[in-house]
Amino acid sequence: MPEPLLEVKGLKTHFYTDEGVVRAVDGIDITIHKGETLGIVGESGCGKSVTALSVMRLIPQPPGRITEGQILYNGKDLLKLPPAQMRKIRGKEISMIFQEPMTSLNPVFTVGEQIAEAIRLHEGLGRRDAMDKTVEMLRIVHIPNAERRVKEYPHQLSGGMRQRVMIAMALSCSPNLLIADEPTTALDVTIQAQILELLNELKAKLGMAIMLITHDMGVIAETAQRVVVMYAAEVVEEAQVTELFKEPLHPYTQGLLRSIPRIDLAATSRVRLEQIPGTVPTLRGDIKPGCRFAPRCALAKPMHFEQTPPLKEVRPGHKVACFLY
Amino acid sequence: MAMQQPLLRVKNLTKYFPIRGGLFSREVARVHAVDGITFDILPGETLGLVGESGCGKSTTGRSILRLIEPTSGEVWFQDRNVTTLDKRSLRGLRKEMQIIFQDPYASLNPRMTVGSIIGEALVIHKLAPNRKAREERVVQLLETVGLSSEHLRRYPHEFSGGQRQRIGIARALAVSPKLIVCDEPVSALDVSVQAQVINLLEDLQHQFGLTYLFIAHDLSVVEHISTRVAVMYLGKIVEIALAKDLYTNPKHPYTEALLSAVPIPDPTVKRKRIILEGDVPSPINPPSGCRFHTRCAIRVPSCSRNEQELTQVSPGHWVACQVRTGVATA
B246-262 pLDDT per residue, tens: 999 999 999 999 999 99
**Secondary structure E strands in B132-262:** 179-183, 211-216, 228-233, 236-242
| Contact residues on chain B for A276, CB-CB shorter than 8 A | 192, 195-196
**Secondary structure E strands in chain A:** 4-17, 20-33, 37-41, 64-73, 76-77, 94-97, 177-181, 209-214, 226-231, 234-240, 312-315, 318-320
| Model confidence, pTM | 0.89
Provide Rg for chain B, Cα atoms: 21
B52 vs A: CB within 8 A: yes
Mean of pLDDT values over A272-276:
86
Tell me the per-residue pLDDT of A113-170, one tens digit each, with 9 for 90 and over. 999 998 998 888 888 999 999 999 998 888 888 888 999 999 988 888 888 899 999 9
Best B58, B165, B186, B192 residue to mutate vs chain A (most A CBs within 10 Å): B192
Do the Cβ atoms of B34 and B14 come closer than 8 Å? yes
| pLDDT of amino acid A26 | 92
Helices within A66-110 (DSSP H only)? 83-89, 101-104
Tell me the per-residue pLDDT of A47-74, one tens digit each, with 9 for 90 and over. 999 999 999 999 988 899 999 999 999 9
Strand A226-231 to strand A37-41: parallel, antiparallel, or no bridges (unpaired)?
A: parallel
- For chain A, give the mean pLDDT: 90
| pLDDT of amino acid A100 | 79
- DSSP character at residue A92: T
Contact B224 A188 (CB under 8 A): no
Kindly tell me if the per-residue pLDDT of B127 is higher than 60.
Answer: yes
| pLDDT of amino acid A181 | 93
Q: Smallest Cα–Cα separation from A100: which of A187, A175, A171?
A: A187
| Contact residues on chain B for A191, CB-CB shorter than 8 A | 52, 279
Report residue A2's pLDDT band, with 50, 70 and 90 as the boundaries. Answer: confident
Kindly tell me if the per-residue pLDDT of A270 is higher than 70.
Answer: no
Partner residue opposite A263 with nearest CB, options B52, B202, B259: B259
From edge to edge, which strands make up the β-sheet containing B211-216? Answer: B97-100, B179-183, B211-216, B46-50, B228-233, B236-242, B317-319, B311-314
Of A256-270, B160-174, B311-325, the range with the lowest mean pLDDT is A256-270
Q: In whole angstroms, what separates CA A178 from the centre of its chain?
A: 9
B133 vs A: CB within 8 A: no
Chain B residue whose CA is closest to A44:
B190
Contact A221 B267 (CB under 8 A): yes
| pLDDT of amino acid A266 | 61
The whole-angstrom separation of Cα B327 and Cα B133 is 61
The whole-angstrom separation of Cα A162 and Cα A226 is 28
Report residue A315's pLDDT band, with 50, 70 and 90 as the boundaries. Answer: very high
Please count the other Cβ atoms lying within 10 Å of the Cβ belonging to residue B225: 25
Q: Smallest Cα–Cα separation from A23: which of A10, A12, A31, A8?
A: A12
Q: Smallest Cα–Cα separation from B146: which of B120, B122, B173?
A: B173
Contact B195 A262 (CB under 8 A): no
Report residue B1's pLDDT band, with 50, 70 and 90 as the boundaries. Answer: very low
The CB-based long-range contact list for B124-132 (8 Å cut-off, 24+ gap) reads B124/B91, B125/B94, B125/B95, B125/B175, B127/B174, B127/B175
Partner residue opposite B265 with nearest CB, options A44, A161, A221: A221
Using alpha carbons only, what angle is made at residue A52 by residues A91 and A22, rounded to the nearest 5 degrees? 135
Mean of pLDDT values over B137-145:
93
Kindly tell me if the per-residue pLDDT of B317 is higher than 90.
Answer: yes
| Residue B52 neighbours by CB under 8 Å, 6+ apart | A188, A189, A190, A191, B217, B233, B258, B280
| Residue A244 neighbours by CB under 8 Å, 6+ apart | A227, A229, A237, A253, A318
The whole-angstrom separation of Cα B196 and Cα B194 is 5
Strand A234-240 to strand B97-100: parallel, antiparallel, or no bridges (unpaired)?
A: unpaired
- DSSP character at residue A187: S
ipTM score of complex:
0.84
Q: In whole angstroms, what separates CA A323 from the centre of its chain?
A: 27
Query: What is residue A6's three-state secondary structure?
Result: strand
Using alpha carbons only, what angle is made at residue B282 by residues B279 and B287, rounded to the nearest 5 degrees? 95
Dihedral over alpha carbons A302, A305, A311, A312 (to 10 degrees)? -20
| pLDDT of amino acid A1 | 65
Contact A216 B263 (CB under 8 A): yes
Partner residue opposite B192 with nearest CB, options A193, A242, A259: A259
| Contact residues on chain B for A263, CB-CB shorter than 8 A | 219-220, 223, 247, 259, 262, 264
- For chain B, give the mean pLDDT: 91
Mean of pLDDT values over A64-90:
93
| Residue A264 neighbours by CB under 8 Å, 6+ apart | B264, B266, B269
B266 vs A: CB within 8 A: yes
End-to-end, the C-alpha distance of chain B in Å comes to: 38
- DSSP character at residue A132: H
CA distance A266 to chain B (A): 6
Q: In whole angstroms, what separates CA A101 from the centre of its chain?
A: 15
The whole-angstrom separation of Cα B98 and Cα A249 is 42
Contact B267 A274 (CB under 8 A): no
Partner residue opposite B263 with nearest CB, options A221, A245, A276: A221
The whole-angstrom separation of Cα B321 and Cα A267 is 24
Using alpha carbons only, what angle is made at residue A281 by residues A278 and A282, rounded to the nearest 5 degrees? 140
CA distance A76 to chain B (A): 34
| Residue A141 neighbours by CB under 8 Å, 6+ apart | A164, A165, A167, A168, A171, A198, A202
Best A279, A280, A297 residue to mutate vs chain B (most B CBs within 10 Å): A279
Partner residue opposite B265 with nearest CB, options A191, A217, A267: A217
| pLDDT of amino acid B187 | 86
Tell me the per-residue pLDDT of B57-110, one tens digit each, with 9 for 90 and over. 999 999 999 999 999 999 999 999 999 999 999 999 999 999 999 887 889 999
The whole-angstrom separation of Cα A81 and Cα B210 is 61
Partner residue opposite B258 with nearest CB, options A189, A197, A262: A189
Of A24-33, A183-192, B42-51, the range with the lowest mean pLDDT is A183-192
| pLDDT of amino acid B330 | 43
B86 vs A: CB within 8 A: no
Counting Cα atoms < 13 Å in the Cβ hemisphere of B202 gives 18
Best B147, B160, B166, B190 residue to mutate vs chain A (most A CBs within 10 Å): B190
Counting Cα atoms < 13 Å in the Cβ hemisphere of B157 gives 3
Do the Cβ atoms of B255 and B246 come closer than 8 Å? yes
Counting Cα atoms < 13 Å in the Cβ hemisphere of A9 gives 13
| pLDDT of amino acid B69 | 94
Partner residue opposite B195 with nearest CB, options A192, A263, A275: A275
CA distance A260 to chain B (A): 7
The whole-angstrom separation of Cα B95 and Cα B214 is 19
Do the Cβ atoms of A40 and A50 come closer than 8 Å? no
Of A131-135, B164-168, B275-279, the range with the lowest mean pLDDT is B275-279
Contact B257 A190 (CB under 8 A): yes
- DSSP string spanning B7-53? SEEEEEEEEEEEEEETTTTEEEEEEEEEEEEEEEE-TT-EEEEE--T
Do the Cβ atoms of B195 and A259 come closer than 8 Å? yes
| Contact residues on chain B for A194, CB-CB shorter than 8 A | 275-276
Contact B266 A275 (CB under 8 A): no
